Amino acid sequence: MTDTLHLDKRQRAMLAEMGVRVWSPMTEAAVMLAPAVDIEPTQAIANAIKPAPILIQRPEGIDHMDWSALRTTVTGCQACTLCGSRQNTVFGVGAPEAEGAAPQVDWLIVGETPGEDEDRQGEPFVGQAGKLLDNMLGAMKLSRTGAHTAEGGGVYITNVLKCRPPGNRNPKPEEVAQCLPYLERQVALLKPKMILAMGRFAVQALLRESVPEVDGTPLGKLRGRVHQYQNVPVVVTYHPAYVMRNLPEKAKVWADLCLAMAHLKGAE
């Protein structure tokens, strides 16, 4: 390899004709830092020197925000490093909203984190996992955008984290801590009659105050009974993405949904 720091264009062209590879410390550093994909060295360098996002503390008074203000705050949130890698924040989706007010719902479904599809579309539970969730809701005579009626119903779907972790990695504790106040306010404004906690990180976030050592408790041991969060019943179940990898667990998820429906009907 030849150091190109002191070579002019003519000398570099001559070396190229001879089949001699040109090299510089910057190029080697960029290649070492670049992901294992076929990209130009200039792009590798750009990725290596991408500036870190500027973090801004969450605004005060989240627990007093209305629905519209909460959505706007989440959209512009820069309280953790996930703001530097996201395409879109994922606030949630559900029953129709009236003039920026929280929708009327009986059901709140809480997942874990946005994935690649969710990050791109800005909506939770899309892709194959979203289709499975829609099928579950259909079996319950519900839909993700159906309105609340005199007979009940109405669904809102959200995640603990509002931004996708890079590479769909697990959320870090500090990321959950930054996002949890948004979820807390969503629950307070939605006033659901039942929460379905889907997946380990959703369960841990919602039951941290009510279940001792919840972080070390297998999700399977938390199923089969009704918990509480902000005085709202919580039923624990598996995340649709997990079920897709473990199809026999579908029967357990349906049992969880039946438990939630029975509890909700009995409370009316």
pLDDT in tens, 76-88: 999 999 999 999 9
- Count other C-beta atoms under 10 Å from residue 47's C-beta: 13
pLDDT in tens, 69-119: 999 999 999 999 999 999 999 999 999 998 889 999 999 999 999 999 999
CA dist., res. 55 & res. 182, Å (int)? 17
CA dist., res. 183 & res. 232, Å (int)? 13
Q: Which residues contact 179 (CB under 8 A, 6 or more apart)?
A: 80, 160, 161, 162, 163
Domain 62-267 is found in CATH 3.40.470.10: yes
Backbone dihedral angles phi then psi of residue 96, each to the nearest 5 degrees: -55, 145
How is the chain split into domains, by residue range? Answer: 2-48, 62-267
Contact 129, 162 (CB under 8 A): no
**Res 59: pLDDT:** 85
**Res 14: pLDDT:** 58
C-alpha distances in angstroms, 24 versus 4, 21, 56? 6, 10, 37
Average pLDDT along the chain: 86
Query: What average pLDDT values come out for the chain (268 residues) when binned by 10 residues?
Result: 55 59 47 43 47 83 96 95 94 92 96 95 94 95 90 93 94 95 97 97 95 94 96 97 94 97 87
pTM for the whole thing? Answer: 0.79
Q: What does the angle CA 130 – CA 100 – CA 68 come to, to the nearest 5 degrees?
A: 85
